[in-house]
Structure 1
Amino acid sequence: MVVAGTLGLILALAAGLRIWGMSYGLPHPMARPDEQKLVGRAAGMLATGDLNPIEHTYPALLLYLQAAVLFSYAKLGPLLGADALGSHPGLPYLICRALSIAFGVATVAATYLLGRRVDGRRAVALLAALVVATNYLHARDSRWGTVDVAMTFFVTLSLVFAVQASDRQRFRDYQLAGVFAGLAAATKYNAGLVLLATAAAAIAGVGRRRITGPDAVRRLAVAGLTTFLLFTLATPYSVRDWYATWEGFTVSVGMLYGVVGERAASVHLRVTFPDGFGLPVCIAALVGAGRAVWKRDARSLVLLTFVVLMFASMAAVLWVFPRYLLPFVPPLAVLAAEAAAAFVDLSRPAFAAAAALVLAGPGILSSVQFDRVAARKDTRVLAAEWVSANVPGGAAVLVCDNYGAPALNADPRRGPSFRVRLIDCTPSQVEGSGAPYLVTSNHPQMPGYASVDPKLREYLDARARPLAEFRPFREGTFAKPYFYVGDAFFLPFTGLRAMERGGPEVTVWALTRP
């Protein structure tokens, strides 16, 4: 009863850290990169009934789940007194974000199962679940309608049965590991690498003379075939249109290596691990990994095999995304909890509380800082609201066409209020337009996604006047925000004390001086 209550509190904490700020950037359709690709396509499936995703950058399982949730809301929501699906902008995104949060919280519960399978002690499993619940990277990304958190949930369950297979060597465990590996791959292609953990389980069985080499081959064949079967069932068009799938996959991989930048391994070791996981968790996980190797603990080595090989697969890429480390959160949490239990008696409440504070404290602080900023309106949303309230209806408004541009006329409840024209924002285009208003966006650390041409800036300083300015940065702080430039996300990963809100610097200009 105590264990169930404690786990319930951990799940409630996980939900709270993920729900706070979940509406960030809405109703702007590009508040979080990749959301528009997934949620927009899921809404299209709901509207047309066509389940073919057409574009195969991602497999289709999450699209189908999002479409199913949107369909359920469309049918049941009005009956329960909720707003209709098209009643206000951003609602489909909010619903799909809620689905992602559910996957994030479920991953915390799955981590408890993983901890129980690896170590056996409830205290270790609870501590591991708490570490995931408060992991800043996982809490931050659990609120977006993208693939990585759902994929991490399926990866974690596959690891649960891979660990169980290493211990019992039952065909059923290999099958179940394959089931969830297939679902993970059907959510994000490279998650199929979790099957390597199952291979480690078979090798461990041979090494401990629990099974023979041919037995291991048969078990791995069962796991592999099950993975392919579940992948096919969960995302059938990825198999049917295999050439388009391969093309989408190779294009995505090519993009990861086709830019100039720092290697992912360096960025993750320098920033993502220490700031996203917290230094205490990183140190404890390293100790846990070393302990697993020293003791030749087959169950922990299954986790370590997955982490090492998965990290090796992404170490050399040049387009760096912090969310790529999400599948490492549960296994490293278990290794960290095992290390803590090796030095501290977790059965004693005072020691357990101290270990929890050390491992979970940094994640809670970082998550609260992020949530505080994410809960405030993005500058693009504020700018769009200002234009709606202060610019005469029907006026022509030029908008510099970049990723940081506010979305005007985005409210489906009203007809178009303004004549919006997206332009490249050169002085000649602005001068010859005849429009009375211009909206520019600029971000000093991510100029590739929001910037103002210097010549246009000179033109505006001489011939226009700013009507309203919306800035994301706080004044009078020494904190330095760190942005993953390739992530195209206008909220920093660290240095959140420097931020008042998310978004680029947005300015609304009057193009005729009084």
Structure 2
Amino acid sequence: MEVEKPIGAAAAPSSMKASVFGLAWKTVLMVGCVTLLGFGLRLVGITWSLPNAHHPFATYHPDELINLNAALQADIPHLKFDIGFYNYGTFYFYLVSLAETIAAGYGLLPTPQAPNAAHQAALFLVGRLVTVLMGTLTIPVIFALGKRLYGERIGWWASFFYAVAPLPVVYGHFLAVDVPANLFVALALLWSVRLAEGDSVRDGLLAGVWVGLAAATKYTAGVVVVAPLTVLFWAKSLNRLRTAGLVVLGALLAFFFGCPGPLVNWNAFWNGLPGYPGSGVYYELFVHSRQGHGLLFVRTGPGWWYHLVISFPWGLGIPLYAAALWGVVVAWRRRTMGDKLLLLFTGLYFLIIGFSAVRFARYTLPLFIPLTVLAARGLEAVWQKNSAGGRLRQGLFVMVALLTLLLSLGWVRRMIAPTPQDRAADYLWRVLPPGASVAFATIPWFYSPPLSPLFGLPSPVQRAKAAVEDTRFQLRIPSEEWDPSVLSPPPDAVVFSNVETMHPLRLGLPSARRFLADIPPDYRRVRFGSGPPWGAPPWQTIVPDDFLYVCPKITVCIAPKYEPTP
């Protein structure tokens, strides 16, 4: 099978002959600059919400503590691979565990003491740096993918778009599997294109290895196996069945290498841990996706529509999303081999995630790889008739890139500013005397001011114990969400966040409305948090939780006898 000749491809002049990895120095420099830009966007704000004396156990991202604990269960030097937690593939956790071991060996981690917020913060930081590195490495891989399909210019712009896209940037800060899995998805797509150019044994095995590691990091990322197998199905080579077998073999070997759970602890892998009903592959893939996630996605329409009107506009930014949609149209019209390959993976993965009742924006991240390539491909196809068209295309590229970059800078700015949770806690500690009563609408968690260290624990039962164990304030924590009894007698302060109120108020939950109405009307409302940056979808009342983690709004209703301003 022949791959389409890259758009605008031309022989390099003698002064710019290939020098590194078959690329001219100028190209290497440009890709290096884009990669450094992406690295900087992911590194700035890396200390966002790390544990401190007030919340020593966890960050303000609800999954990070669970993921850290999973990684700490592994011990790579002593060949302990069974971590007991298999909601996700374990390969990323192994990498984090190995990084923690190396950091400890070089004395980069503070000596653990209980409780020791500095040690806990260092553990989170090491895990986040693994994410930063893997997210950054994805950028040059996308360049290589775009270059092989459509030429260096499109490859460069595609890598730039991915480097500055808001969701990969924001989620590139967290100790979570989603961004790391994208590295292997991108490599699998790249090696699928290599297979189209010649189905060698090495490329077949490597394509399978990247597929297996993608699935071993996040199970659903294994859908990318469709790319190399489809390319081989389209191929005319007599060896395509042999190469397809090598792809499958490489995928299986890499999966069991990165996630040996089925081999070392089948019961925990499939059924989860005893006493932890929300664990295991069966729950994660077949129960959670059917039951949904509390009120978060109730009455939000079909999953495909939700991602189209909420996840993508927030995750890509409106200009880049528009360019990606246009790129899909261009690819559908031209349908070269590369177009069909990217459209096939995009369509299949989008179809699968749309069936799920759980619709976090981060679930769309694997689609950002083909969409950023197609966005560049679509912009390159605009008005190619004359030189004026060239200037128009260049202007469109620059406009989309700068607007997307500015949006991501807005998100990063929120990650380097003091968090609304900490600001609200500082205000309450300053204004209220010891023994004052503070009421909550729900059991406090990552979205609440850290008035107790217990608020960072994953179990709601453990967090609720703060009502009797905290000594600074009298904490009124409801046994059920929106229980108005915590408002009687009137407390000195009432605290709630838009993370708690967004979906109950969207659904018109009577208990939520009644609770908010029962707050004494003469209480002053002091708000902390600036919300999403300029450029985020202005028409949306739903902010994806993936972004809301870094821009919550905390409301403190304070009795009139206390200081009115923060």
**TM-score grouping bracket, smaller chain normalisation:** 0.7 to 0.9
> Which residue number corresponds to residue 502 of structure 1?
551
Report whether the alignment pairs 1:224 with 2:248: yes
> Which residue number corresponds to residue 497 of structure 1?
none
1:34, distance to aligned residue in structure 2 (A): 1.8
Report whether the alignment pairs 1:131 with 2:161: yes
TM-score, scaled relative to structure 2: 0.73
* CA shift digits 1:119-148 (9 cap, x unpaired): 3x3222111111111222222221121111
1:410, distance to aligned residue in structure 2 (A): 3.6
> Which residue number corresponds to residue 445 of structure 1?
502
> Which residue number corresponds to residue 327 of structure 1?
366
1:282, distance to aligned residue in structure 2 (A): 4.2
Aligned-partner Cα distance in 2 for 1:454–1:352: 51
CA contact 1:255–1:319 (8 Å) conserved in 2: yes
> Which residue number corresponds to residue 235 of structure 1?
259
Report whether the alignment pairs 1:363 with 2:404: yes
Q: Secondary structure at the match of 2:495?
A: strand
Aligned-partner Cα distance in 2 for 1:3–1:352: 20
CA separation of 1:365/1:240 partners in 2, compared to 1, >3 Å: closer, same or farther? same
CA contact 2:379–2:393 (8 Å) conserved in 1: no
> Which residue number corresponds to residue 494 of structure 1?
none
> Which residue number corresponds to residue 41 of structure 1?
70
Aligned-partner Cα distance in 1 for 2:211–2:361: 22
TM-score, scaled relative to structure 1: 0.80
Report whether the alignment pairs 1:297 with 2:336: yes
Q: Name the % identity.
A: 24
CA contact 2:166–2:407 (8 Å) conserved in 1: yes
- RMSD in angstroms over aligned alpha carbons? 4.0
Aligned-partner Cα distance in 2 for 1:324–1:458: 36
Aligned-partner Cα distance in 2 for 1:459–1:285: 47
261, 270, 283: which one aligns with 1:251: 283
Opposite residue 249 of structure 1, the aligned amino acid is V
* CA shift digits 1:243-266 (9 cap, x unpaired): 443342332233233243322211
Where in structure 2 are the equivalents of 1:418-437 lying within 5 Å? 418=472, 423-424=477-478, 426=483, 428=485
Aligned-partner Cα distance in 2 for 1:391–1:52: 48
CA contact 1:134–1:364 (8 Å) conserved in 2: yes
* CA shift digits 1:350-376 (9 cap, x unpaired): 677535313313311221222233332
CA contact 1:397–1:418 (8 Å) conserved in 2: no
109, 118, 124: which one aligns with 1:93: 124
Opposite residue 255 of structure 1, the aligned amino acid is H
1:507, distance to aligned residue in structure 2 (A): 2.7
Unaligned runs of 5+ in 1: 492-500
Opposite residue 31 of structure 1, the aligned amino acid is Y
Aligned-partner Cα distance in 1 for 2:395–2:133: 29
Aligned-partner Cα distance in 1 for 2:321–2:516: 45
Opposite residue 376 of structure 1, the aligned amino acid is A
Report whether the alignment pairs 1:110 with 2:141: yes
Aligned-partner Cα distance in 1 for 2:42–2:344: 29
Aligned-partner Cα distance in 1 for 2:495–2:416: 24
Opposite residue 472 of structure 1, the aligned amino acid is G
Aligned-partner Cα distance in 2 for 1:351–1:5: 25
Opposite residue 368 of structure 2, the aligned amino acid is V
Where in structure 2 are the equivalents of 1:71-470 lying within 5 Å? 71-78=101-108, 86=116, 88=118, 90-119=121-150, 121-205=151-235, 209=236, 211-212=237-238, 215-247=239-271, 248-253=280-285, 254-259=287-292, 260-261=298-299, 262-343=301-382, 353-387=394-428, 400-403=442-445, 404-410=447-453, 418=472, 423-424=477-478, 426=483, 428=485, 440-443=495-498, 444-447=501-504, 461=520, 469-470=526-527
Opposite residue 54 of structure 1, the aligned amino acid is G
1:46, distance to aligned residue in structure 2 (A): 6.7
1:309, distance to aligned residue in structure 2 (A): 0.9
> Which residue number corresponds to residue 545 of structure 2?
487
Aligned-partner Cα distance in 2 for 1:195–1:68: 27
Aligned-partner Cα distance in 1 for 2:98–2:476: 34
Opposite residue 251 of structure 2, the aligned amino acid is T
Aligned-partner Cα distance in 2 for 1:279–1:397: 41
1:480, distance to aligned residue in structure 2 (A): 5.0
CA contact 1:31–1:489 (8 Å) conserved in 2: no
CA separation of 1:344/1:7 partners in 2, compared to 1, >3 Å: closer, same or farther? farther
1:96, distance to aligned residue in structure 2 (A): 2.1
* CA shift digits 1:397-456 (9 cap, x unpaired): 7765144333345499xx987478673264556769xx987663232424499x995666
* CA shift digits 1:294-345 (9 cap, x unpaired): 5552233222211111111112323211111111112222223233334478
Report whether the alignment pairs 1:25 with 2:43: no
Aligned-partner Cα distance in 2 for 1:216–1:280: 40
* CA shift digits 1:210-242 (9 cap, x unpaired): x14xx3332222111211111111111244333
Aligned-partner Cα distance in 2 for 1:401–1:481: 30
Opposite residue 318 of structure 1, the aligned amino acid is A
> Which residue number corresponds to residue 496 of structure 1?
none
CA contact 1:203–1:216 (8 Å) conserved in 2: yes
Aligned-partner Cα distance in 2 for 1:56–1:448: 34
Aligned length: 485
CA contact 2:424–2:449 (8 Å) conserved in 1: yes
Q: Secondary structure at the match of 1:357?
A: helix
Aligned-partner Cα distance in 2 for 1:392–1:315: 50
Aligned-partner Cα distance in 2 for 1:92–1:383: 26
Greater CA drift, 326-335 or 182-191: 326-335
Opposite residue 111 of structure 1, the aligned amino acid is I
Q: Secondary structure at the match of 2:83?
A: coil
Greater CA drift, 357-366 or 22-31: 22-31
CA contact 2:360–2:546 (8 Å) conserved in 1: no
